[in-house]
Amino acid sequence: MLYPLSYGGSRTARKAYMTVNDSVEGVGSVAADARGTRVLVVDDSAVIRDLISVNLSLEGFEVTTAADGQAALDMVRDVAPAVITLDVVMPQLDGFDTLAALRADPATADIPVVMVTGRASAADLERGAGLGVDAYLTKPFEPAELVTVVSQLAGARR
């Protein structure tokens, strides 16, 4: 796989992500066919949105972006994503409040959500799990790890 952008970090130096049941392991088990699978990428940083978008697009995902939680909520029904990546610290509506709103709406409650954030304290992980996050990826992250997590969550929803 080709990943033209890197956001640093080392897969061997730390565990960059966790899932609620820690069932996602390894890198490289990308879904066989991501074509047409929609992902909504939500982050207030244009650089991070672009990094995530490019890497997911290279794997065949159809990517839509939003700069904050409120914008994501405004477009989520029209986009109908298979997976949402969500930053925590954003203007307008932060990631935790956005996740709570997604889970409270029957139309969006079952969409898998990956938190992609620098907020990785035990309290943050616990709050995310309590709100129903499906995976938690900490910045800096390896793009290949993000692709793997999104692919597996998208595959589970098909």
**pLDDT tens digits for the chain (158 residues)?**
333 444 443 333 233 444 444 443 333 334 446 778 999 999 999 999 999 999 999 999 999 999 999 999 999 999 999 999 999 999 989 999 999 999 999 999 999 999 999 988 999 999 999 999 999 999 888 999 999 999 999 986 65
Q: Are 136 and 18 in contact (CB under 8 A)?
A: yes
Please list the residues that pair with 2 across neighbouring strands. Answer: none
Q: Where are the domains of the chain?
A: 33-117+132-157
Give the integer Cα–Cα distance in Å for 102 and 79.
14
Q: Which of 156, 110, 137, 121 has its CA nearest to residue 27?
A: 137
CATH of domain 33-117+132-157: 3.40.50.2300
Per-residue b or e along 94-125, where b marks 16 or more CB atoms closer than 10 Å to that residue's CB: bbbbbbbbbbeeeebeebbbbbbbebbeeebb
